[in-house]
Chain A
């Protein structure tokens, strides 16, 4: 069950080292054949200083963020990803160290086919060493109603 007192919670900021190996691994996992992700030469030919990160690379922050408190107390059996939105402000390339700041931006209830579900929005900002926000990710997770209290099958 979602703990609503988590609204507005700010997680402790932490550092994320942007590494070539992780960029290549992530790019392969999304079946990309773009050379910008695999070779510095390919990246430079496209105008990047080094290998850039793919658009949904923010996903890897879970590798770096090991001590996040479980403030939401979600039931994984009932949790679905709702969606995500990214805003790109500055390029991010291998070798950079980003500071990641994440907060619970919204918690609300919405009606689903199976009954009331809880919608949680987490906003995460990735700042570069110059102090500029390079990109922002806003992800939505849904906690569906418990099956045994549900009405018709969805």
Chain B
């Protein structure tokens, strides 16, 4: 869902978060995440293995993108206010990509705690060739005055 679309829908609370960016990401970022998290699937660090699986090169762990997005949320709301966080992977992150984080609030569903706010989140990649596409969609539920 694009930002423009959210502004056209009155049911959405529509608070738009200031965009965040990281990158360009390198193989070193993938390797460091593999070590920190413990996921050593060679598809993330061994180009030969990745090619044998039909990919042009290694690609980042989905959980790395999720972790980077979680920090975007924590920077804005504080860790102590985070109640729920979810991610769905829709595309791969390649070496050389810059990631762009964005999000906007949505109206609380019926029965939800009114002191909490729900946000829809998105991560896009911009490749070295300028190509831009969504790699992750997600959500966060936050509490607190800034929510």
CB pair A29 B89 closer than 8 Å: no
CB pair B52 A77 closer than 8 Å: yes
Docked complex Cα distance between A28 and B29 (Å)? 10
Chain B interface, >50% SS class: helix
A46 at the interface (CB under 8 A from B): yes
- Report the nearest B residue to A25, measured CB to CB: B36
Which residues of B94-142 have CB atoms within 8 Å of chain A's CB atoms?
none
Query: Which one of A4-12, A83-91, A103-111, A124-132 is at the interface?
Result: A83-91
B56 at the interface (CB under 8 A from A): no
A34-B38 contact in complex given A29-B32, A29-B33, C-beta closer than 8 Å = no
Which residues of B37-60 have CB atoms within 8 Å of chain A's CB atoms?
37-39, 41-43, 52-54
**Residues of chain A within 8 A of B54, CB atoms compared:** 77, 147
Which residues of A33-50 have CB atoms within 8 Å of chain B's CB atoms?
34, 36, 46-48
B68 at the interface (CB under 8 A from A): yes
**CB < 8 Å neighbour of A59 from B63, B71, B73, B75:** B63
CB pair B62 A81 closer than 8 Å: yes
**Residues of chain B within 8 A of A31, CB atoms compared:** 22, 29, 68, 71
Interface size on A, residues (CB 8 A): 37
CB pair B61 A81 closer than 8 Å: yes
Docked complex Cα distance between A47 and B66 (Å)? 25
Query: Which size bracket describes the interface of B in this complex?
Result: 35 or more
Residues 51-94 of A, flagged 1 when their CB comes within 8 A of B and 0 if not, give: 01011100111110000000000001111111111111001000
B147 at the interface (CB under 8 A from A): no
**Residues of chain B within 8 A of A32, CB atoms compared:** 71, 74
- Seen from chain B, the residues whose Cβ lies within 8 Å of a Cβ on chain A are 22, 29, 32-33, 35-39, 41-43, 52-54, 61-64, 66-68, 70-71, 73-75, 78-80, 82-89
List 6 A-B pairs, Cβ < 8 Å.
A22-B36, A34-B75, A54-B74, A60-B36, A63-B38, A80-B62
Known: A26-B36, A34-B75, A83-B87. 6 other contacts (CB 8 A): A48-B80, A60-B38, A77-B54, A79-B41, A81-B62, A147-B54
- Seen from chain A, the residues whose Cβ lies within 8 Å of a Cβ on chain B are 22, 25-26, 28-32, 34, 36, 46-48, 52, 54-56, 59-63, 76-88, 91, 147
